[in-house]
């Protein structure tokens, strides 16, 4: 006789649950899954019945995830990630690629130079299958601990249990100003200049790890005025282009979004930003060790300020 709880292990049900949990709207989740809303609602009710808990609080106006649903969401994401990783690894083996390098990235590291490094690494190491996983930093850390991710590229190298951070590159904090801004005509921005204008920083929820170091720098200024906090790099640069203030961003980050209506200028005496490769404290695999050295060598031969010219 079939155990009803075993149906929770079906990958499709976990995908349904994740979509609803992230959208908090059954119609949008159904559209995202390319299915009708009725079978989606029925699948969620079945999961709730099998678990004996409510996963969502639903009303005619809103959908909220419960505490039990929040706990399940973490496990569901891990299970789906593990199954996806199993498929990727199997396909890589079929193609004759015996080694695999799974690297987590987020908005803070999706800049051109890192993309170039990964592309060159693949050319130099054709037997290694490189998989990029675009997930938030906290999920990258969980993935490293669970063995689902080999490494993460991050601007946040703070101490974490079971995680080692290896510096591979340095760049600088720069000021992003609109093309019409008075500071656009200067060669470099002084710290004293920054307190004369509203500042646009990253929000704590943005997952842009540089925000921690940039906030620390801003706190050393005399009476800075933080006017906005952006969740994404794109939002920050749009606010800058509209003339709402000066955006503070890493020069390497900014290479991902070069725009004609924005000028980037270095800030004198600003502390450097460091790019790290995060990985488990355990033994480093040969492909990962090679990648870390490859990244260090590539960055050392590149000028991190070329984007400002």
Q: Which of 54-58, 86-90, 143-147, 249-253 has the lowest mean pLDDT?
A: 86-90
Contact predicate 210/275, CB 8 Å: no
270 is written with which tokens?
């600003």
Residue 87 burial (C-beta neighbours within 10 Å; 0-12, 13-18, 19+): exposed
For the chain, domain boundaries:
4-75, 103-166+275-308, 169-273
What does the alpha-carbon distance between residue 257 and residue 252 come to, in Å, rounded to a whole number?
A: 10
- pTM for the full model? 0.65
What does the alpha-carbon distance between residue 291 and residue 153 come to, in Å, rounded to a whole number?
A: 11
- Checking if the pLDDT of 95 tops 90, the result is no
pLDDT in tens, 177-234: 999 999 999 999 999 999 999 999 988 766 555 567 888 899 999 999 999 998 878 8
- Checking if the pLDDT of 109 tops 60, the result is no
Alpha helices in the chain (DSSP H): 11-23, 26-33, 37-51, 67-94, 112-124, 137-146, 191-194, 210-218, 233-241, 251-254, 286-300
CATH architecture, domain defined by 169-273:
3-Layer(aba) Sandwich (3.40)
DSSP conformational letter for 190: -
The CATH T-level fold of domain 4-75 is: Arc Repressor Mutant, subunit A (1.10.10)
Number of H helices, E strands in the chain: 11, 11
The CATH T-level fold of domain 103-166+275-308 is: D-Maltodextrin-Binding Protein; domain 2 (3.40.190)
What does the alpha-carbon distance between residue 105 and residue 120 come to, in Å, rounded to a whole number?
A: 17
Percent of the chain with pLDDT over 90: 40
- Are 103-166+275-308 and 169-273 in the same CATH fold? yes
């Amino acid at each position: 006789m079939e155990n009803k709880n075993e149906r929770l292990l079906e990958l499709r049900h976990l995908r349904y649950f994740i979509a609803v949990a992230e959208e908090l709207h059954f119609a949008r989740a159904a559209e995202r899954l390319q299915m009708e809303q009725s079978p989606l609602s029925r699948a969620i009710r079945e999961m709730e019945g099998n678990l004996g808990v409510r996963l969502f609080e639903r009303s005619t106006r809103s959908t909220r995830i419960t505490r039990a649903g929040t706990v399940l969401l973490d496990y569901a994401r891990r299970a789906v990630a593990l199954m996806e990783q199993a498929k990727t690894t199997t396909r890589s083996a079929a193609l004759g690629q015996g080694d695999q390098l799974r690297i987590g990235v987020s908005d803070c590291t999706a800049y051109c130079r890192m993309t170039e490094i990964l592309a060159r690494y693949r050319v130099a190491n054709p037997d290694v299958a490189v998989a990029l996983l675009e997930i938030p930093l906290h999920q990258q850390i969980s993935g490293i601990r669970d063995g689902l991710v080999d490494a993460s590229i991050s601007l946040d190298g703070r101490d974490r249990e079971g995680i080692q951070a290896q510096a591979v590159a340095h760049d600088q904090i720069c000021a992003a100003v609109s093309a019409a801004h008075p500071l656009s005509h200067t060669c470099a921005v002084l710290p004293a200049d920054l307190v004369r204008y509203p500042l646009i920083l990253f929000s704590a929820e943005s997952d842009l790890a540089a925000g921690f170091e940039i906030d620390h720098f801003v706190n050393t200024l005399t009476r800075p005025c933080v006017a906005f906090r952006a969740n994404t790099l794109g939002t920050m640069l749009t606010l800058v282009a509209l003339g709402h203030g000066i955006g503070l961003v890493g020069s390497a980050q900014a290479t991902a979004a070069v725009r004609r209506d924005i000028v980037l200028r270095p800030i004198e005496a600003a502390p450097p930003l460091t790019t790290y490769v995060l990985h488990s404290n355990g033994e480093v695999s040969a492909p990962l060790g090679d990648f870390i050295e490859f990244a260090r060598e590539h960055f050392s031969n590149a000028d991190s300020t070329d984007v400002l010219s």
